[in-house]
Amino acid sequence: MKKHILLVCILMIGMFLYPKNSFALKCVDLESGEKAYNKYDGIIEAQVEKVTRKKENNRLQLKVIRSFKEITETSLSVTEDMTWGSLDGPGEKGETYLFYLKKSNGQWENPLCSPSMKIADAGEELKYLGAKEISLKDTEETEGTAGKVGEQESAGSEITESTGVTTGGKWRNPAGWQCF
pLDDT tens string for the chain (180 positions)? 777 787 777 777 766 666 555 555 566 677 888 999 999 999 999 999 999 988 888 899 999 999 999 999 999 999 998 776 555 566 889 999 999 999 999 999 998 888 999 999 999 999 999 999 999 997 554 444 444 433 333 344 333 333 343 334 444 444 444 443
Measured on CA atoms in the order 53, 54, 57, 61, is the torsion positive or negative?
A: negative
Cα–Cα distance, 34 to 180 (Å, whole number):
29
Taking alpha carbons only, the member of 49, 3, 58, 38 closest to residue 115 is 38
Cα–Cα distance, 99 to 119 (Å, whole number):
9
Residues near 17 by Cβ (< 8 Å), separated by ≥ 6? Answer: none
Taking alpha carbons only, the member of 92, 112, 104, 123 closest to residue 42 is 104
Contact 59, 79 (CB under 8 A): yes
Strand (E) or helix (H) holding 6: helix 2-17
HSE-up (13 A, CA, CB side) for residue 46: 31
49 domain residue, yes or no:
yes
119 domain residue, yes or no:
yes
State the pTM of this model.
0.63
Q: Work out the number of other CB atoms within 10 angstroms of the CB of residue 54.
A: 9
63 domain residue, yes or no:
yes
6 domain residue, yes or no:
no
Q: How many separate domains does the chain show?
A: 1
170 domain residue, yes or no:
no
149 domain residue, yes or no:
no
Cα–Cα distance, 150 to 121 (Å, whole number):
46
Cα–Cα distance, 155 to 148 (Å, whole number):
11
Could you report the per-residue pLDDT of 103-126, keeping only the tens digit for each? 999 999 998 888 999 999 999 999
71 domain residue, yes or no:
yes
- Domain of residue 38 covers 33-132
Contact 95, 47 (CB under 8 A): yes
CATH assignment at residue 95: 2.40.50.120
151 domain residue, yes or no:
no
